Every structure is written in C-alpha cells, then in structure tokens.
Amino acid sequence: MPNLTDHQRPVPNPWNIGFGIVALAAALLTLLVWIPFDIKGGVIEANVLGKLEPGDAFFPALLAGALVVLSLIQVISAVIDRTVPDPDAASGKLTTDNLLFLCLFYAIVLIGLTVMYWLGPLTTEALKAVGLIELGYRQLLDTPPYKYIGYIVGGFGMTLGLITWAEGVTRPRAILTVVIVISVSILIFDILLNNVLLPPNADF
C-alpha cells in the first residue's frame, strides 16, 4: 500500500471544526452566563392566575440551546468527515476577499436591524406630525399595524438581502420563502403567544 503524503491523507477540515467550537463557546456563554445574570425573568414563569407561560428568558434560552446542539453537530460532523486536502485550495490565511465578505455580511445585517429598530418609531412620529395619529410609538408598540412596520420591512430586507447576496440573484422562490417565514413568526410569537412582543418593540 503506498504511503500517503500530507496532501493525500484524509484529515478533518480545521475551519469547520473551529467554526463549530467558536459557535459552541458563544452559545454556552449565552446560556450559562449572559441569560442568568442579565435577564431577570426565568425561562418558565407563573402568571397572576398561576398558569405557566414563557418567561423573559424563554426565547433567548431556546435559541442558545438550539445553537449548542447545532454547534455540537457541526464539530462532530467535521471530525468524522475526513477529506483529502486540495493542493489548489486557498492557504487558509485571511485575505482581502475574506474581509470584504465579512464587511458586506455585517453591512446587510446592521442595515436590516437599523431599519427594524427605527422604522416604526420614525413612521409613527411622521404620522403624528401631520396629525394622522395622536399617540407616539411607545403607546402603539403593541398595536397593529404599527408594531409590524419595523419587523416586517427590516426582517424582509435583511433576510432577502442575505439570500440574494448568497445566490447572486433575487428569485421569486426566495421572496416567497421570506414572506412565509416572517408570517409564521408573527403568527407564533405575536398572535399565539400573547405575552411576547416582536422585536424590537420590547426595547421601547
């Protein structure tokens, strides 16, 4: 049997393992440090009627727990999935293209979050200034359609922007997918769970 060189021997991809470890560490810090020390409410709490319902920490804990599971799957699959290194592949060093990728990614996310946070208050202030409404956003943050403005526009723009950037084209299927995801999230978190405010309304 011929001896395999370092470029021919199947090895785990260190980038995939590293990504999983970093994500796992961040999820564990969120679950074990940030949530217990920063969020006053519990995961499950009893309301004034004694009925159990999701507390302030429920959804952050649910998200962090899901990231822990996904990160473990990422690390385990990366360790098991051994591939022969491609001698023509990149060296693994950070390049200008890598930094440009990160800048574009964060730009899309930050623009989407900014629109999500400020569009609702700015819209209500504009309507109030021209006399169409009398209340400010703080009084309307749980009133449709005002509470949906930032979430729908910012979430739609950010999600579709990331998909379009990844695919290089805006497809009708992507638009439909984003619309369905946003609609389902509103149905679950705003209509079915009546003690939860859509982001960013809880911050106002």
**73 plus 143 within the same structural domain:** no
pLDDT in tens, 41-71: 777 777 777 777 777 777 788 888 888 998 9
Q: For residue 174, give Cα distances in angstroms to 156, 188, 202.
A: 11, 21, 29
**60 plus 105 within the same structural domain:** no
Q: State the chain's mean pLDDT as an integer.
A: 82
81 vs 19, more confident: 19
**78 plus 100 within the same structural domain:** no
pTM as predicted: 0.63
Give the range among 17-31, 37-51, 60-74, 78-92 with minimum mean pLDDT. Answer: 78-92
Residue indicated by tokens 């509103």: 186
Q: Is the pLDDT of residue 126 over 90?
A: yes
pLDDT in tens, 129-145: 998 998 888 888 888 88
**169 plus 149 within the same structural domain:** yes
Residue 86 banded pLDDT, cuts 50, 70, 90? low
**78 plus 99 within the same structural domain:** no
pLDDT in tens, 110-119: 999 999 999 9
User: Running DSSP on this structure, what letter comes out for residue 32?
Assistant: I
Return the half-sphere exposure (C-beta side, CA atoms, 13 A cut-off) of residue 121: 12
Return the half-sphere exposure (C-beta side, CA atoms, 13 A cut-off) of residue 81: 11
**82 plus 161 within the same structural domain:** no
* Residue type for position 73: I
**60 plus 33 within the same structural domain:** yes
**72 plus 110 within the same structural domain:** no
Domain end residue (candidates: 56, 89, 122) = 89
Domain end residue (candidates: 89, 105, 129) = 89
Amino acid 196: pLDDT: 67
**101 plus 76 within the same structural domain:** no
**64 plus 103 within the same structural domain:** no
Domain of 60 in residue numbering reads as: 1-89
**177 plus 130 within the same structural domain:** yes
Chain-centroid distance of CA 119 in Å reads 19
Cα–Cα distance measured from residue 28 to residue 21, given in angstroms and rounded to the nearest whole number: 10
Domain end residue (candidates: 89, 123, 139) = 89
Overall size of the chain counted in residues = 204
When divided into structural domains, the chain yields a total of: 2
The crossing angle, in degrees rounded to 10, of helices 172-186 and 146-167 is: 150
Amino acid 1: pLDDT: 45
**133 plus 175 within the same structural domain:** yes
